[in-house]
Amino acid sequence: MEYILQTSDLCKNYGSAKILKNVSINVPKGSIYGFVGRNGAGKTTLIRVITGLHTPSSGSYSIFGVSNTDPSVNEKRAKIGAVVETPSIYPDLDARENLRMVCRLLGKPFDNIEEILKMVELANTGKKKAKNFSLGMRQRLGIAFSLINNPELLILDEPINGLDPQGIMEVRELLTNLNQQNGITILISSHILDELSKLATHYGFIDRGIVLKEMSAEELHRSCQKSARITVDNMAALEEVLREMNLGYNVLTGTEAEIYGDFFVTPLVNELSKRDCIVQRLSQNDESLESFFINLIGGGEIA
């Protein structure tokens, strides 16, 4: 697998405060990587280090295969677009004028302004000033700024924070299109877990500056999907019945298995009984993404 961004034992200290502690993440090319953590977990600090706003205290990272210690890393960093915290816009200018202003500041031509406006669905806003935009429109304008360099990696810090349901949907659709139609790899830091689950293909979970786990969306889905834990005295019989009933399962021990999906308990128990297999214990589990993360960090509120 090709990784567009990797960190290895990355640490960042501010005085005696250790904000990032040996952080190692791997962002696959073409993915939407959800970087999940509570406020203050270290998400924004990591983004600031990666984008060159801060230097690491120790450890390393690479962008497009180039180490942060390589002088050419700044050339690679030019292929990154980022929106860190609230995007800065010019409230008395319309969308086009805002983009022209940013192009001037970056020394970029105006060639792709109309294309970018179409991508973020702001092409039909006319002379409407940005101060009269909704929060969702302002967020999409901020993302438009980050697209001026035609980035291959887009890094967004809490892009849907404070948005209403309509604004969240608009940003979600925009990011999906940027990823699927334009091939842009996206790293999104957020604590809004339910919304991330509608976007992300891969996840990294961070708490108190420590990355606890990385996993694909498929692995997370298997961990969170409705399931039942069953203990029996005849595992071979259980597997046979589960295959006949077309139920997904995972054998945990010689007597215990996890069964995935919805099923009726009585028919399962009856079929096992016919094969002289006794069910010793059966418990249901329906874990949400939020409860998965709370269990991962050992409890506490997500805020």
- 102: domain CATH number? 3.40.50.300
- Judged by average pLDDT, the poorest of 41-45, 101-105, 217-221, 249-253 is 217-221
pLDDT at 300: 54
Residue 256 lies in a domain: yes
pLDDT tens figures, 187-198: 999 988 888 888
Q: pLDDT above 90 covers what percent of the chain?
A: 75
**Domain match, 88 and 185 both:** yes
Question: Between 297 and 100, whose confidence is greater?
Answer: 100
Count of structural domains within the chain: 2
Using CA atoms, how far apart are residues 257 and 77, in angstroms rounded to an integer?
47
- C-beta separation of 148 from 103 below 8 A: yes
**Domain match, 123 and 257 both:** no
pLDDT at 64: 96
Residue 264 lies in a domain: yes
0.75 surpassed by pTM: yes
**Domain match, 143 and 89 both:** yes
Please determine, for residue 266, whether its predicted confidence score (pLDDT) is greater than 80: yes
Residue 155 lies in a domain: yes
- Judged by average pLDDT, the poorest of 22-31, 151-160, 204-213, 285-294 is 285-294
pLDDT tens figures, 163-193: 888 889 999 999 999 999 999 999 999 988 8
Q: Which two tokens stand for residue 261?
A: 């999906």
Return the CATH number at 274.
3.30.70.100
pLDDT tens figures, 42-73: 999 999 999 999 999 999 999 999 999 999 99
Residue ranges making up the domain that contains 263: 227-285
Please determine, for residue 303, whether its predicted confidence score (pLDDT) is greater than 60: no
Residue 76 lies in a domain: yes
pLDDT tens figures, 72-120: 999 999 999 999 877 789 999 999 999 999 999 989 999 999 999 999 9
pLDDT at 301: 54
**Domain match, 209 and 239 both:** no
pLDDT at 116: 96
Query: Buried (b) or exposed (e) across 211-249, using 16+ Cβ within 10 A?
Result: bbbeeebeebeeebeebbebbbebbebbeebbeeeeeeb
**Domain match, 147 and 256 both:** no
**Domain match, 275 and 208 both:** no
Residue identified by tokens 């329906």 is 286
